[in-house]
Amino acid sequence: MELNKEILLLQGEIKKFAREVIAEKVDEFDKNGIFPIDNIKRLAEMGILGATIPETYGGCLLDALSLMVCLEEIGKVCPSTALIILTHNILFAYPLVRFGNEEQKKILSKLAAGEVIGGFAERSTNDLRISAGSDFYKISGSNPILLNGVADGPFILFIESDNSINAFVVDEKIPGVIRNKKDNIIGMNAGGITEVVFDNCLIPVNNRLGREGEGRFILEEITNFANLGFSAINLGISEGAMENAIKYAKERVQFGEPIINFGMVREMIIEMRTKIEAIRLLIYDAARLYDAQKDFILKAGIARYLSNRAAAEITTDAIQVYGGYGYMKDYPVERYFRDAQVSRVLCSSNIDLRELIISRTI
């Protein structure tokens, strides 16, 4: 499945940036939990922060395939950065473009320029008490996973009450929203995930995306696109881990020869490569369906389902190739392993994915 010239050019540009710039501080940022704001600004200059925003709103709308290729290339080097880009584009800007009113869309040009970074509160970890008024929703409680929380930008929060789901844009004008950086998540340390606490927070009904009760549909739309995006990060993580494992296996000498010569090491690499090629085809296929405005949902779900597993297995085996060294934070593979855990569970659970696949199969 060949990429066209334009995408290849973009891929080359992103790859170069990832390997020459992002790679430089990737370990330091992971270790100290630093949000890579300078790199994000540079990516904004390259148009990547407006990837889901039409030109009329100041963006430079990319096709889904191009965006997936970007997430893959960034994910190979720094999965945290890829997560920031995914969250901003797919989990925040995209629903705003699709469902926002003109007032809400005013922020899009700032998003595209990278002046504002959009966030997303993971729905499954919401622990909220909600009372609905006529003009406001009153919210108390917390959520331990606010994606891009460190960036202090607006974020999307799903509120469930009385059997209806609504999506809200929580912006800086709303008091009582407190973000705490807690370092309590296994991976994506540079991804700027925070806890968010709502202290008797009043969210105006005007901040709702779409009509009352439309949240369920919005959630599905976001999730389907995000399945594609997380698959691309899973793919990038898998490729980054394999690349490192191969490099190490060629250098590491035991029993008088490089360990890449040993069948049991080669076996692990064979498994990695095979899974990577399979998931890449699925992702590109689903992205092309999306771009052709055909039904991509099942394919994206399958890509996510398979790549969730592949990322877990490949990063586990990458550590195994390194042996004891792989278990040490001086080497990169344990980071890929931790990041893969985050990338494979956010946004849609595997129960959701199974239901999606079975309902569209039988």
Partner 1 sequence: MEYFLTEEEKALKEKVRRIAEEIILPVRDELDKKAEFPREIIDRMAKEGLLRIFIPEEYGGTGARIMDMSIACEEVARICAGVATAYAVGALGSGPIIYFATPEQKKKYLPKVASGELLCAFGLTEAQAGSDVANIQTTARKVGDYYILNGVKQFISNCTIADVYVVLASTDKTRGARGISAFIVEKGMPGFEFGKHENKLGIRTSTTTELIFSDCRVPKENLMGKEGMGFIYTMRNFDRARPGVGAIGLGIAQGAYESALKFAAERNLLGNQYIQRKLADMATEIEAARALIYAAARAIDSGIKNTTKPASFAKLFPSDIAMKITLEVIELMGPHGLLREYNVEKMLRDAKITQIYEGTNQIQRGQIALEIIKECGYKKE
* Sites of contact with partner 1 (CB under 8 A): 122, 124-125, 144-145, 184-187, 253-255, 262, 264-265, 308, 312, 316, 319-320, 323-330, 334, 337-338, 341-342, 344-346, 349-351, 354
Q: Among residues 173 and 256, whose Cβ is nearest to partner 1?
A: 256
Nearest-approach distance from CB 144 to partner 1, in angstroms: 6
- Indicate the helix (H) or strand (E) that contains 131: strand 127-132
Q: Among residues 39 and 244, whose Cβ is nearest to partner 1?
A: 244
Helix (H, G, I), strand (E, B) or coil at 102: helix
Helix (H, G, I), strand (E, B) or coil at 52: coil
Q: Among residues 9 and 186, whose Cβ is nearest to partner 1?
A: 186
Nearest-approach distance from CB 310 to partner 1, in angstroms: 12
* Count of CA atoms in the C-beta half-sphere (13 A) of 327: 3
Residues 6+ away with beta carbon under 8 Å from 255? none
Dig out the tokens for 196 from the structure. Answer: 């968010």
Alpha carbon distance 63, 66 (integer Å): 5
Alpha carbon distance 201, 203 (integer Å): 6
Nearest-approach distance from CB 229 to partner 1, in angstroms: 16
Is the separation of the CB atoms in 303 and 228 below 8 Å? yes
Nearest-approach distance from CB 259 to partner 1, in angstroms: 8
Alpha carbon distance 228, 296 (integer Å): 9
Q: Among residues 39 and 308, whose Cβ is nearest to partner 1?
A: 308
Nearest-approach distance from CB 60 to partner 1, in angstroms: 31
Nearest-approach distance from CB 338 to partner 1, in angstroms: 7
Is the separation of the CB atoms in 177 and 169 below 8 Å? no
Q: Among residues 134 and 255, whose Cβ is nearest to partner 1?
A: 255
How big is the CA angle at 92 (ends 90 and 97), to the nearest 5 degrees?
Answer: 85
Q: Among residues 1 and 351, whose Cβ is nearest to partner 1?
A: 351
Residue 92 DSSP symbol: I
